[in-house]
Amino acid sequence: MSEAEGLGGADGVRSVQRILLVEDEASDALVLSHALKGLGFAPSGFLQARTLAEALTLLETGEVDLGIVDLGLPDSRGTDTVRRIRAAAPDLPLIVVSAAADTEAAVGSLQRGADDYLVKGAYDARSLDRAIRYATDRRRLQTAERRRAVELERAERQLRAVVEAHSDGMLIVDSRGVVRFSNQGARHLLGFDERELVGHTFGSPLLDSGDAVELEGPVRGDTRSKVEMRSTAIDWEGTPAHLIVLRDVTVHRRLEERLRQSQKMEALGQLTGGIAHDFNNVLAVILNGTEALAEMVPAELVEAHAELREIETSARRAAGMVRRLLGFSRRGYLRFETLDLRKFTQDALAITRRMLTDVVGIRSSVEEGVGNVRADPAALQQIFLNVVANARDAMPEGGELTIDSGAAELDESHRARYPWVSPGQYERVSLSDTGVGMTAETLDRIFEPFFTTKGPQSGTGLGMAMVYGLMKQHRGLVHVHSKPGGGTRVDLFFPSSAASKRDVHRAEPQRGARRGTILVIEDEDALRRGIQRVLSNAGYEVLLAQDGREGIDAWRKHRAGIDLVVSDLVMPKLGGKEVLAEIRRAGDPCPFLLITGYGVESLADLRGRGVSMLTKPWSQQTLLNAVRAALRGEDVAPEATA
């Protein structure tokens, strides 16, 4: 075993390849080189420097694994040599070999950065080897520690950057609820901005379940947000603490509420539409029956006629309610025209003045530039009447009603609550009153059918439900703003129409309309008999069928002689639309009058194709008017019976 191997020199040779020898005395350099060779270090790896300057140059230009330095150099004396070499090479294992045997020189060298100190002439191979191994191990450990510290610092910086950048607020609170750490998100959310939160009392979570709790704040700020808080018990620097995460959920809650409202209204619409349809059928039978009885009962039975009129009045009132319900449920039939909203508003104002008592002042500032809209004039009038009626009722002691208007642009954000609304240009008409206003709870329910804050004799609670439904049918929307004691403002938004105004063509009723043959298809026996009676009395020849299949058979048989087909929409076996489709497929352009309990937007595609519509319940006159118009080839709007 060589001396080098016995002293661990094999390892030393592997890790230390290039040795910098800083020694100006040639003899001393030779002794050192020889000692190193004896330890197994290859002389090809020795770098000789006779001055500090040479040593520093060698350190700059190449890799050096070990430095052995004499303190007495021509250009540097004492421990300053060590300091400068250490500054140039912080990780270099460094051994001082000096003639000075005093402790002061040794301590000074070590303090300046040397790893070991040997006295010339007093060291042997063993002590040299030990010094080399000690120096290299020590430097390796120190270098590793420093690198770990640098990496730790980098990881900490990165983590801090992530925590600070996170939009959620993060707090660490101790067991007394005092803030020990906060991020920018928390400071912003709690209204602290750049001021530090640490040291302030936030509070402890009441429960440690980890479930989210909804709070409000910040108390410091002027706005109120909804804040979701989650807490987790943690250990913070050896003591129990809580990690609190805060999230602003204000927008989220608002969207949830809009969605809930939208879904509620949709569900209500479905329900009321279904009920209304069934009611219409029943009312049609009642009205037709009273009309028939009125003809049959002798005129001298005055009381009987009075009772019949009562029944008819009640039935018509019920029909009116059903119509308003249908308006809400989006099932009413509307006839759209291009209207000048400004002119319409002024005309409506003239009408509403009559509704308002003298003590209600009216101010109007409808803009010149308010454009055209596509709307049903009757529906628009109904909307105005309903809104003005509510304003009147809110000002029993008098007050002021203001009507103003303007252009508006609605963006995508409205779709969350009003899915039928497209972003774009709208015309706005607003009606404001100085009345008693509404609480938030009332406002939340204002569009619900039958919801009313007035007494049972004062209203059906269908007015605003109707406004909602009609605005929806116009692809617009209604906003209501109100505060208790602060009045109410109703904003109506109609999609702008780029079309120029055109007058609706209304044909003059022709006298002496040609009588003809009418095929009546209706599954309800009472209604079928009622229609037959009315038409026969008016001089028409009537063919009857009690469902769509029978109707088709009858049409095929008498096709050439049929002047008009009157058909119910919803029937077993084959409905009115299917009958129409089959007749048209056969190339017959025969006029078609569809009678419906809904009136339906899905029938909009049939308009202008020789198809008219009539809604139930109809009266004798409305039925005859519709039949005459259909025979004249007009596209007829269904008339209300009330």
Partner 1 sequence: MSGARGLVRLYVAGPSPRTEAAWHTVQTACKVASTPRFDVELVDVSERPDEARRAGIMLTPALVRINRGEERRWLGDFTDVEAVARALVSDDV
Give yes or no for a contact between 548 and 583, defined as CB atoms under 8 angstroms apart. Answer: no
Instruction: Report the C-alpha gap between 380 and 334 in whole angstroms.
Output: 10
Which of 84-92, 212-220, 301-309, 430-438 is the region at the interface with partner 1 (rule: CB under 8 A)? 212-220
Q: From the CB of 202, what's the least distance to partner 1, in Å?
A: 6
Could you say which of 219, 296, 299, 350 contacts partner 1 (CB under 8 A)? 219
Instruction: Show the tokens assigned to 35.
Output: 């000692």
Give yes or no for a contact between 427 and 405, defined as CB atoms under 8 angstroms apart. Answer: yes
Residue 382, number of CB atoms within 10 A of its CB: 19
Comparison of 205 and 332: residue with beta carbon closer to partner 1: 205
Work out whether 203 is an interface residue with partner 1 (CB under 8 A).
Answer: yes
Which of 121-129, 204-212, 268-276, 558-566 is the region at the interface with partner 1 (rule: CB under 8 A)? 204-212
Could you say which of 36, 227, 366, 562 contacts partner 1 (CB under 8 A)? 227
Which of 82-90, 91-99, 104-112, 198-206 is the region at the interface with partner 1 (rule: CB under 8 A)? 198-206
Give yes or no for a contact between 32 and 23, defined as CB atoms under 8 angstroms apart. Answer: yes
Could you say which of 56, 69, 105, 190 contacts partner 1 (CB under 8 A)? 190
Q: From the CB of 388, what's the least distance to partner 1, in Å?
A: 32
Q: How far is CA 180 from CA 174, 210, 247, in A?
A: 7, 20, 19
Q: From the CB of 189, what's the least distance to partner 1, in Å?
A: 9
Work out whether 499 is an interface residue with partner 1 (CB under 8 A).
Answer: no
Work out whether 377 is an interface residue with partner 1 (CB under 8 A).
Answer: no
Q: From residue 246 to residue 285, what is the string marking binding to partner 1 with x (rule CB under 8 A)?
A: x---------------------------------------
Q: From the CB of 195, what's the least distance to partner 1, in Å?
A: 13
Work out whether 204 is an interface residue with partner 1 (CB under 8 A).
Answer: yes
Work out whether 1 is an interface residue with partner 1 (CB under 8 A).
Answer: no
Comparison of 8 and 191: residue with beta carbon closer to partner 1: 191
Give yes or no for a contact between 186 and 170, defined as CB atoms under 8 angstroms apart. Answer: yes
Could you say which of 44, 63, 176, 511 contacts partner 1 (CB under 8 A)? 176
Q: Give the N- to C-terminal CA distance of the chain in Å, as an integer.
A: 123
Report the Cα 266 to chain-centroid distance in Å: 18
Could you say which of 140, 147, 195, 224 contacts partner 1 (CB under 8 A)? 224
Cα 177–181–187 angle (5° rounding)? 90
Instruction: Report the C-alpha gap between 592 and 569 in whole angstroms.
Output: 11
Which of 63-71, 112-120, 213-221, 265-273 is the region at the interface with partner 1 (rule: CB under 8 A)? 213-221
Residue type, 279: F
Instruction: Report the C-alpha gap between 300 and 311 in whole angstroms.
Output: 18
Which of 78-86, 145-153, 196-204, 392-400 is the region at the interface with partner 1 (rule: CB under 8 A)? 196-204
Which of 93-101, 141-149, 210-218, 319-327 is the region at the interface with partner 1 (rule: CB under 8 A)? 210-218
Q: Which helix (H) or strand (E) holds 269?
A: helix 250-296
Instruction: Report the C-alpha gap between 418 and 477 in whole angstroms.
Output: 7
Instruction: Report the C-alpha gap between 268 and 449 in whole angstroms.
Output: 8
Could you say which of 202, 333, 426, 540 contacts partner 1 (CB under 8 A)? 202
Comparison of 172 and 478: residue with beta carbon closer to partner 1: 172
Total residues at the site for partner 1 (CB under 8 A)?
A: 24
Comparison of 44 and 223: residue with beta carbon closer to partner 1: 223
For residue 495, give the nearest of 468, 467, 472 by alpha carbon: 472
Work out whether 604 is an interface residue with partner 1 (CB under 8 A).
Answer: no
Place of tokens 């004691």: 485
Q: From residue 123 to residue 162, what is the string marking binding to partner 1 with x (rule CB under 8 A)?
A: ----------------------------------------
Work out whether 437 is an interface residue with partner 1 (CB under 8 A).
Answer: no
At 531, give phi and psi (nearest 5°): -65, -45
Work out whether 199 is an interface residue with partner 1 (CB under 8 A).
Answer: no
Could you say which of 166, 200, 584, 632 contacts partner 1 (CB under 8 A)? 200
Q: Which helix (H) or strand (E) holds 374?
A: strand 372-375
Q: Classify the C-alpha dihedral 327-329-334-339 as positive or negative.
A: positive
Give yes or no for a contact between 574 and 545, defined as CB atoms under 8 angstroms apart. Answer: no
Instruction: Report the C-alpha gap between 600 and 614 in whole angstroms.
Output: 11
Beta-sheet strand order (sheet of 94-98): 46-49, 19-22, 66-69, 94-98, 116-119
Which stretches of the chain bind partner 1, using CB under 8 A? 176-177, 190-191, 200-207, 213-220, 224, 227, 229, 246
